[in-house]
Chain A
Amino acid sequence: EAGVAQSPRYKIIEKRQSVAFWCNPISGHATLYWYQQILGQGPKLLIQFQNNGVVDDSQLPKDRFSAERLKGVDSTLKIQPAKLEDSAVYLCASSHRVGQPQHFGDGTRLSIL
């Protein structure tokens, strides 16, 4: 079974620039999550999709972050404009359904200069 794919693996941008991350979940997984993991901390949920609908985006900074999951499969997370405090690893995870183990991708490490 192929795992969760994320790209790019690394991204370096200057503050106020924009950036986008891509995630391809495990085939058949209806639930998709985006997390932000700051160094030394556990992941923090940004947004959760069930198929192509948003279930929870309460911790997503909507003034600068946006996410979509077209056709209920792939997803993109965008930051515009980026701030220094956005430096983190952005993890995508998927699960067959809520309550089942989440399978994580290896993340995108974002550095803001």
Chain B
Amino acid sequence: KNQVEQSPQSLIILEGKNCTLQCNYTVSPFSNLRWYKQDTGRGPVSLTIMTFSENTKSNGRYTATLDADTKQSSLHITASQLSDSASYICVVGTNFGNEKLTFGTGTRLTIIP
């Protein structure tokens, strides 16, 4: 069964600090891995999308890494800001015929001043 597991479930850090969110997946066949940011009451917003051949991708202060051998990904946030408070969802896509996405349950990140 295709699964995406994220850790930690929730995280609280001080403004200005860095943090790393983890994603492990058992989705097969693998096509791509995406990280989304979801603010409370809003829809998810795409941060990064990586294919099998990419092992890192940055979007401003967000840097995602991918290890397709160990089926792990991480999202590193540098110099956190209050606006980074949100849920971060890891999503893995297959490409067996029509693409199917498997969503993780997200990490709830809270930045405190």
Contact = CB atoms under 8 A, between A and B. Distances in A.
Contacts of B4: 42
B101 interface: yes
B interface majority secondary structure: strand
B99 A99 contact: yes
Interface stretch (B13-21, B41-49, B67-75, B76-84): B41-49
B61 interface: no
Interface in B55-113: 89, 91, 93, 95, 98-101, 103-106
A43 B31 contact: no
A56 B42 contact: no
A45 B49 CA distance: 19
Nearest to A42: B103
Interface residues of B, number: 23
Interface string A39-61: 01111110010000001100000
Nearest to A100: B49
Interface in B13-45: 31-32, 34, 41-45
Given A44-B103, A45-B100, A45-B101, A105 B43 contact: yes
B98 to A, nearest CB: 6
Interface residues of A, number: 22
A104 interface: yes
A41 B38 CA distance: 12
Given A40-B105, A42-B105, A98 B99 contact: yes
Contacts of B89: 42-43
A106 to B, nearest CB: 5
A79 interface: no
A111 interface: no
Interface of A: 4, 40-45, 48, 55-56, 91, 93, 98-99, 101-107, 109
